[in-house]
Amino acid sequence: MGLAGIDGSGVKLIMVGGKGGVGKTTCASAIALKMAEEGRKVLIITSDPAPSLSDIFEKEIGDRETRIDDALELYGLEVSSDIVLARWKERFGPEIYEVVSSFASVDYDFVEYIGTAPGIEEEYMLNFIMELVEGGSYDVVVWDTAPAGHTLRLLRLPQLFLSHMEAATKFYMNMYGYIEKVKDTIRLKESKKTLLQIIAGWEALSERIVEFIRDGSCVKYLIVTIPEALGVKMTNRVIGELEENRLTVENIVINNVVREADCEFHRLRKTMQEHYIEELRETYRGKTLTLLYLAAQEIKGMDRIAGVTRSLFG
Ligand SMILES: Nc1ncnc2c1ncn2[C@@H]1O[C@H](COP(=O)(O)OP(=O)(O)OP(=O)(O)O)[C@@H](O)[C@H]1O
Ligand SMILES: [Mg+2]
């Protein structure tokens, strides 16, 4: 028994998702360690607003790719949405500004405003990860995602983002139309690209991202949950939404499972957990469910991470 299909040779990206606090970072770290132990060059990346890789690996990681272990090709990266947004602005800001300022009097704050469009952050996070994967510096990237809500938003995007931009485009096209009429009387700066061309470029990028995240041979989704009502509910929601978006979850890790009950407190807990484990088994017959037992100590440091690796992969 153990996780299925995620250590195949074609797998390039493993996304670890689930509700807050259920053990995503723990599982992602254990998976990354496993891959690195097999001799692969691995990057574990967290996009959690509260970066936590430094804590679990007991090594300062931060927003640069940092080698975690001298003996293994294991690297870590903690990216915040601020950094991702800043990169987006670096990449698209100047051309947006150039185009818009050619027909409207706006200052550079306008770019900041576009940067607040719903979905830009998520879209660009996906783009950032896709570029990391396709850049080929690593054999495999393990992505410790932010708690569920965020991940789901991420998938509803590119659409949300594009419809926002479409509305903005229509608005500007109307303005353009107006300028068309008066263009002989006002001087327009020559712009290399039109706004529509820029947006068409974003649209193409979006489509490429969606295609990338749906490629099941290269991207694997793993959901971590706990055997409690809330955990089961969230899992159903997350998996439902992922699958509506044609993203297949093959693995579910049920964490914090009580292994042996030697007191009344733990007997009660174990009975409660068994009920929910059974429910998850019934619901997800086609998937691989892996139990991860609750340890007496928090999971921190290489030795304990390695313990989780052994539990997950058998
Ligand atoms: N099987 C386990 N046994 C004991 N402690 C565990 C186990 N799994 C996780 N923990 C502990 O539970 C806490 C939460 O785990 P973790 O940080 O991996 O969750 P998370 O889903 O990443 O949380 P967040 O949503 O806040 O990022 C950590 O202190 C971790 O050490
Ligand atoms: Mg975490």
- Identify whether residues 109 and 224 lie together within a single domain: no
| CB contact at 8 A, 252 and 19 | no
- Confirm or reject: Cβ of 255 under 6 Å from ligand 1: yes
- Confirm or reject: Cβ of 158 under 6 Å from ligand 1: no
Express each pLDDT in 24-74 by its tens digit. Answer: 999 999 999 999 999 999 999 998 777 689 999 999 999 899 999 999 999
Count of structural domains within the chain: 2
Whole-number mean pLDDT of the chain? 84
pLDDT given at position 186: 46
- Identify whether residues 265 and 303 lie together within a single domain: yes
Express each pLDDT in 172-190 by its tens digit. Answer: 556 655 555 554 444 445 5
Q: Is the pLDDT of residue 152 over 90?
A: no
Express each pLDDT in 218-274 by its tens digit. Answer: 999 999 999 999 999 999 998 988 888 788 899 999 999 999 999 999 999 999 999
302 in a domain, yes or no?
yes
2 in a domain, yes or no?
no
pLDDT given at position 266: 96
CA 290 to ligand 1 centroid distance, Å? 16
CATH code of the domain covering residue 43: 3.40.50.300
In 235-295, the DSSP E strands lie at: 249-257, 288-293
Range of the domain at 181: 84-120+157-206
- Identify whether residues 168 and 129 lie together within a single domain: no
- Identify whether residues 48 and 171 lie together within a single domain: no
For ligand 1, what atom is nearest to the CA of residue 147?
A: 25
- Identify whether residues 23 and 170 lie together within a single domain: no
CA 165 to ligand 1 centroid distance, Å? 38
pLDDT given at position 187: 47
pLDDT given at position 35: 96
- Which positions ≥6 away from 15 have C-beta within 8 Å? 143, 145, 151, 219, 220, 221, 222
* Confidence band for 95, pLDDT divided at 50, 70 and 90: confident
- Identify whether residues 291 and 170 lie together within a single domain: no
Structure letter (DSSP) for residue 47: -
Residues 271, 28, 161: CA angle, nearest 5 degrees? 105
pLDDT given at position 188: 46
Mean pLDDT of 154-159: 60
- Identify whether residues 65 and 199 lie together within a single domain: no
- CA 60 distance to own-chain centroid: 21
- Identify whether residues 232 and 109 lie together within a single domain: no
247 in a domain, yes or no?
yes
DSSP per-residue string spanning 237-253: HHHHHHHHTT--EEEEE
Structure tokens at 107: 């200052």
